[in-house]
Amino acid sequence: MDAVSAADPSPTRVFAILNPARRRWSAARRLLEEGAAARGWPLTVLTTTVADPGAGQARAALDAGATLVVVGGGDGTVRVVGGVLAGSGVPLGIVPLGTANLFARNLGLRPRALARNVATALAGRPHRVDVGWSRHRRGEEWSAEEPFLFVAGLGHDAATVLATRAWLKRWLRWLAYLGAGAVHLFRSPIPVRLAVDGRPPREVRTWCVLAGNCGRLPGGIRVFPDARPDDGVLDTLVVPIRRPWQWASVAAKGLLRLKRDVRALEYGRAHDLVVQPDTPQPLQLDGDAVEAVDEAAWRVAASELTVLIPTDPSE
């Protein structure tokens, strides 16, 4: 990853947006207060709520003149706060406190290294990354755009997210998705119309459609082998599973990182993508599930968000 070309001035007003539902949030708050005080930086701490999971707090921070915003929470909190900061030029520090922490992992952060992550969030290396944007339609009405930083998915992938119990995620963390995923594994493929970069749509039958900004899962598994959060494109994946045994080759490619192509995985790249299923299907953005939609439109905004990443990638 390349750092931003011009060094940003040292932040003078720091806002931390923390999700108090996360187990280590109070420890993160203490470390942030200590770190900001040691640097002589004013720190304002805002907490998320069920009614406002981060967007209102991020707007309030920008309105108050924040020069650095730190977010502490899971993928959902990071996604919402990052979407507000996109295009603002104000850097985002990330303290991963969630279940999967997928975007943070792809930036080189280690979720269990709390003190190190706090230090990076306050004084890491600024780096510009892309932001994915999604809108969806129910009936004739389109939603406002929502951000995603890791992946957007429609179909059985999103149904898996929707079916995963919150209490199970608290105990098993990202492994909780495997149980729900097994239930949907052998569901019939979904007929969809897929239009990429303004080209005429094509009809496919697929287990799901994914558009990713990053590609790495825990355990070294890569959903998108070549995806990078700073390459200006979305990596796309269609999974036209037709026979149950095809899941074996999919699992082998993901777990063993095989380089050969697998017929049940169709990779592509796009700047924008429109997905229209024959019947309404659930949608998910970085693990936040949306009830069934009639159509989804995804696009990428290159280099729209500045994040702070570890100064030493080997840390």
Q: Is residue 58 part of a domain?
A: yes
Give the mean pLDDT per block of 10 residues along the chain (315 residues): 44 92 96 97 97 98 98 97 98 95 95 97 97 98 98 85 46 38 61 97 93 84 88 93 50 47 78 98 92 96 98 68
The verdict on 162 and 27 lying in the same domain is no
The pLDDT score that the predictor gives to residue 12 is 79
* Euclidean distance between CA atoms 205 and 189, whole angstroms: 5
The verdict on 116 and 150 lying in the same domain is no
Q: Is residue 1 part of a domain?
A: no
The verdict on 261 and 137 lying in the same domain is yes
User: How does pLDDT run across 40-63, given as a tens digit for each residue?
Assistant: 999 999 999 999 999 999 999 999
Q: Is residue 4 part of a domain?
A: no
The verdict on 201 and 122 lying in the same domain is no
The verdict on 149 and 90 lying in the same domain is no
Please count the other Cβ atoms lying within 10 Å of the Cβ belonging to residue 219: 9
> What range defines the domain where residue 93 resides?
14-129+304-309
Q: Do the Cβ atoms of 126 and 104 come closer than 8 Å?
A: no
The verdict on 114 and 203 lying in the same domain is no
* Euclidean distance between CA atoms 119 and 261, whole angstroms: 40
Number of structural domains in the chain: 2
The verdict on 151 and 291 lying in the same domain is yes
The pLDDT score that the predictor gives to residue 280 is 97
The verdict on 137 and 110 lying in the same domain is no
CATH of the domain at 35: 3.40.50.10330
The verdict on 290 and 141 lying in the same domain is yes
The verdict on 169 and 248 lying in the same domain is yes
Q: Is residue 2 part of a domain?
A: no
Q: Do the Cβ atoms of 17 and 32 come closer than 8 Å?
A: no
Q: Do the Cβ atoms of 42 and 13 come closer than 8 Å?
A: yes
Q: 125: exposed, middle or buried (C-beta count within 10 Å: 0-12, 13-18, 19+)?
A: middle
